[in-house]
Structure 1
Amino acid sequence: MAEECVKVVGMWASPFVARVEMALRLKGVTYEYIREDLANKSEMLLRYNPVTKKVPVLVHGGKPMAESAVIVEYIDEVWKDGYTIMPADPYERAQARFWARYADEKCNPAIYLVYTSAIGEGQTKLVHEAQQCLKPLQKALEGKKFFCGDAVGYLDIVVGWYARWVPIIEELSATSIVTDQELPLIKAWFDRILAVDVVRETLPPRDKLLPLCKVRREQLLSA
């Protein structure tokens, strides 16, 4: 089963697609990347993911699956040899899943509100709220190099995109979310995770992502 054809339907600037590609690359799995135009969704995407109609979609042996966090777990279960993504201990696995869901449900929306807010007094409150959301997540880093220990693991993959996107959001919104004063462990983790070759090479280049995020922010502010 693990040797069957693997495809990833994605869009280059999606942090969620980056999760899937990161997991596959850490595992050393060869895959075909199929670029999707989200402004004109293909029949293939709608067939593979008729429920949410979003990327990423992983197709393995002709069977499609959606939702990036679910896909990352699947990759770790199917390709058992080599690099380990999920913690071996059941309790630690449960904790990794808890923080991953927390990040998706609490931190991501808070960061997005900063990205889509106009510069002004109201923005200060949104920055503070984003920091308060990130502080509990930061506790999962205490005493560790990465969220999962000495090497990049499941939670690092789930939130790894923060290291690329958050500094861009800060620049575009003229704010500082992840600072040495408020979130020192996460700020230091940004540098460490971007120093990992697979992570750095999988995340979109900053100089390519910045103009796209700028245009998108302007569109959202003018809507």
Structure 2
Amino acid sequence: MTNDPSKPRRAKPRLALSRERIAEAAFQIVHAEGLAALSARRLATTLQCEAMSIYHHAPNMDAVLDDIVDRLLSLLALPTHESRNPRRDLLTLSRGFLDLADRHPHVFVVAVSRRWTTPTAYALAQASVSLFQSAGAPQRAALRNARILGAYLGGAGSALAGWRLSHGDPGTEKHRALDAAAPKLRRQSTLGNVRRDLDLGLGVVIDALLQREKRQ
């Protein structure tokens, strides 16, 4: 059976607008182009809706940013059982967090600049606290340790994101200036070396926090 060219084609039905669709579209825009590219108008164009329709599902753009953070953190696998090896599991969880900076640098920069107030963010915090508790820390100390570790991860992840977002060769003149300031340092400053050094630092921080609880 052939289509009758005289009959108008039916337009494909649009997917219903939802907060989840808005969050996913916002995430993809920021991932590809950075926060500066995100606006209600850009979201509306992407979702093929009116800009005001966005606010029927998300109260404001600040809420959309929270949803972006939640979407990023949902990519991180959390422990699903009581840990028998807290150090190993803390390293695994922390390395997974740093991987988010490597894979989604634009979104990561947004995430670490905001206060986390979403369920997924609190689940991540609770996972870290629970691991320190499994290592013998009381709840208050476990929360303090999780915050200290989180501060390190935020800085380390920002460093990785910065490397990912710095495109292109800075040029011969810039190289000369850097070499004059610190001979041989530039050649050692590679992404691979940065990632290895940050991973070493991660182990140092976790070991120090775990050892501190043993001395209490």
TM-score by length of 1: 0.28
Based on CA coordinates, which of the two structures has the bigger radius of gyration?
A: 2
Higher strand share: 1
Higher helix share: 2
